[in-house]
Amino acid sequence: MRFEADAAAQRVLPAGALPDPMFQVELRDIDNGGASSPNLLPGRVGSTRYQFRQTFPSWGKRDAKRDAAQAAADEATYRADATWTELALRIKSAYARYQQTTDSLAQSRAILELVDRLESVAQVRYAGGLAPQQDALRAQVERTSMMSEIALLEADLAATRARINGLLARASDAPLAEPRGDGALPPLARVDLAALRERVLARNPQLKAEAARIRAAEKSKDAVFANRYPEFTFGVAPIQMRNRINEWELMFEINIPLQQGARRADEREALSMLAAAQARREAQVNDLLAQLGESVAGFRAAHRVETLTRTSLLPQADVTWQAALAGYETGKVDFTTVLEAQRQIRQARLTLIRTHAEARMKQAEIERLVGEEL
């Protein structure tokens, strides 16, 4: 996209340049009235006419073409910026998924340690005749289930690493550093929908590209309308006889714009292209603002769930698990209760990780729409 933008920038100068001048050589009376055999040397013919011509387009046409080319170059530059924001979104989303999978894997391994502890307690109680054999078997089933979940997470982690490497133009199996903690989420006050709407309208590169396309269509329309006026050609022609210049001629030429039907059709086309560019921008605005509303709503919901899980659900689940395990060790609660407590704490921890990753991905989508970091 950057190469294409550079190519578009190189079209600006030629668009406003004059057409190349013309040079013509005309050999007259090459056989000297039949007195000699034909000759092509300028000094051996009856006379030689040299003509230089330069055409000048109608008023404003060169400026309109140059401005249209500049607007097209600006559009290509904004398209490159939009491509980068799209790529940045994919990288950020993949990294959020990488962080989520890594944290989920670590949590699952930590839960596996809890299950191992629970299995040990169940076996001790069964050996002492304080619990049925079914408790130990259910603990083993739960451990096998956790091992299967860990295997799936490891496969998902490998796939996420390959995806990130692909986005970074690296080999899919290239080594990748472990994700670092990305800190707390932005406060909800910074994700204000009204303020973000203004930022999208002012800074989104896709909208800037559409605005540049409108300017290009407007200037192209001006260039087409300039065809109503004639173009002029001026020329000068020295005439050589033998070895010296004997005469000079001046030439003036003008084209007559008589094909009005064709020109009117070109003008209607230019107007339709301008209307299409304007309609396309309006549709782009509606689509981007709709995406912004969805992303903001998703971010705010994930942010609230993450906060509730960290401050309320997870501490409650941890207390429930500790109490259930202590009660099972003393025979005050059954195995089903402690197993349910273990599943609750696992679900709470995974919910915290998942909602944090979802909020990060929604944040990345908002930043793509805004065209900059929050």
pLDDT digits (tens, 9 = 90+) for 67-89: 999 999 999 999 999 999 999 99
CA distances from 186 to 100, 224, 298, 303, 359 (A): 18, 51, 14, 9, 10
User: Over 80: is that where the pLDDT of 149 sits?
Assistant: yes
179-193, 230-244, 322-336, range with the lowest pLDDT: 322-336
37-41, 269-273, 355-359, range with the lowest pLDDT: 37-41
Q: Residue by residue, what is the 3-state secondary structure of the chain?
A: CHHHHHHHHCCHHHHCCCCCCEEEEEEECCCCCCCCCCCCCHHHCCEEEEEEEEEECCCCHHHHHHHHHHHHHHHHHHHHHHHHHHHHHHHHHHHHHHHHHHHHHHHHHHHHHHHHHHHHHHHHHHHCCCCCHHHHHHHHHHHHHHHHHHHHHHHHHHHHHHHHHHHCCCCCCCCCCCCCCCCCCCCHHHCCHHHHHHHHHHHCHHHHHHHHHHHHHHHHHHHHHHHHCCCEEEEEEEEEECCEEEEEEEEEEECCCCCHHHHHHHHHHHHHHHHHHHHHHHHHHHHHHHHHHHHHHHHHHHHHHHHHHHHHHHHHHHHHHHHHHHHHHCCCCCHHHHHHHHHHHHHHHHHHHHHHHHHHHHHHHHHHHHCCCC
For 104, other C-beta atoms within 10 Å of its C-beta total 21
Q: What is the pLDDT of residue 283?
A: 95
Q: What is the pLDDT of residue 126?
A: 67
Pick the CATH number of 2-18+60-229+262-370 from 1.10.579.10, 3.40.50.300, 2.30.30.790, 1.20.1600.10: 1.20.1600.10
Name the strands in the sheet holding 244-254, side by side, starting at the edge strand that comes first in the sequence: 22-28, 47-56, 232-241, 244-254
Residue 146 CA to residue 115 CA, distance in Å, equals 9
37-41, 199-203, 268-272, range with the lowest pLDDT: 37-41
Supply the pTM of this predicted model. 0.78
Q: What is the pLDDT of residue 142?
A: 78
Q: What is the pLDDT of residue 158?
A: 92
User: Over 70: is that where the pLDDT of 66 sits?
Assistant: yes
Q: Which residue is it, tokens 């950057």?
A: 2
pLDDT digits (tens, 9 = 90+) for 36-62: 778 778 778 888 999 999 999 888 888
Q: What is the pLDDT of residue 130?
A: 64
**8 Å CB contact between 66 and 15:** yes
Bridge partners for 25 per DSSP: 50
Q: What is the mean pLDDT of the chain?
A: 87
**8 Å CB contact between 321 and 114:** yes
pLDDT digits (tens, 9 = 90+) for 113-129: 877 777 777 777 767 67
Reported as a pLDDT band with limits 50, 70 and 90, residue 107 is: confident
Reported as a pLDDT band with limits 50, 70 and 90, residue 200 is: very high
Higher pLDDT, 309 or 116: 309
Q: What would the two tokens of residue 273 be?
A: 């292209």
Reported as a pLDDT band with limits 50, 70 and 90, residue 276 is: very high
User: Over 90: is that where the pLDDT of 327 sits?
Assistant: no
Residue 63 CA to residue 34 CA, distance in Å, equals 53
